[in-house]
Amino acid sequence: MLLWKAILILWMMAGVVCTLAPNLPGTAMIALGIAGYYMATEVFLPSFFWPVVLTVVLIAELGGRLVRGYLMKQQALHFVIDTAVGNFAGVLMTSAFIGTLPGILVWQTLIGKTLMPSRDDFIRGASYLFILLLLRGVCGLILFGLAANYLFMP
């Protein structure tokens, strides 16, 4: 019994970590861990517990995916993020072939100026995605806090 409790607690902690990745269902993992822990221990839970857990999972998973899908459907944001990553990779490759300082100078002189208008879009898009990441992380911590308060310390 103690082994199952430890495994389920580790599973829930892995779910909290997975909330930081956009494509991993971290809050769903936490909810499954909570359900498994409840079935293993059958502790008393208040009547509001499961509706709150399901609401938080729906907000984090479905809401997060919808918002992320909307942001990534905007072609400019998708292009800007890919362009910023490509620009960084280009600077690294140019620096590797002709040296650090000449590589940065050549790359920024030839290509960097065309990417400057995209910088503002990248900052705006990255900030939206970061806020979405925080939302998922907060939802995961709320679920883990509920589990800690009502399951682990009844």
* pLDDT tens digit sequence for 68-118: 777 766 655 555 555 555 566 666 666 666 766 676 666 666 665 555 556
Distance of CA 77 to the CA centre of its chain: 18
Instruction: Name the residue among 56, 62, 5 with its Cα closest to residue 31.
Output: 56
d(CA 46, CA 102): 66
* Token pair listed for 86: 């490509």
Q: How many domains does the chain have?
A: 1
Distance of CA 108 to the CA centre of its chain: 32
Check whether 2 has a pLDDT greater than 60.
yes
Q: What SS3 class is residue 83?
A: helix
List of residues 6+ apart from 76 with CB closer than 8 A: 121
- Whole-structure pTM value: 0.64
Q: Angle 43-46-50 (CA atoms, 0-180°, nearest 5)?
A: 90
Q: What's the mean per-residue pLDDT of the chain?
A: 76
Instruction: Determine the structural domain holding residue 59 and report its residue range.
Output: 2-152
Compute the chain's Rg from CA coordinates: 22
Residue 23 has φ and ψ, to the nearest 5°, of: -105, 5
List of residues 6+ apart from 5 with CB closer than 8 A: 37, 40, 41
Instruction: Name the residue among 119, 94, 96 with its Cα closest to residue 107.
Output: 94
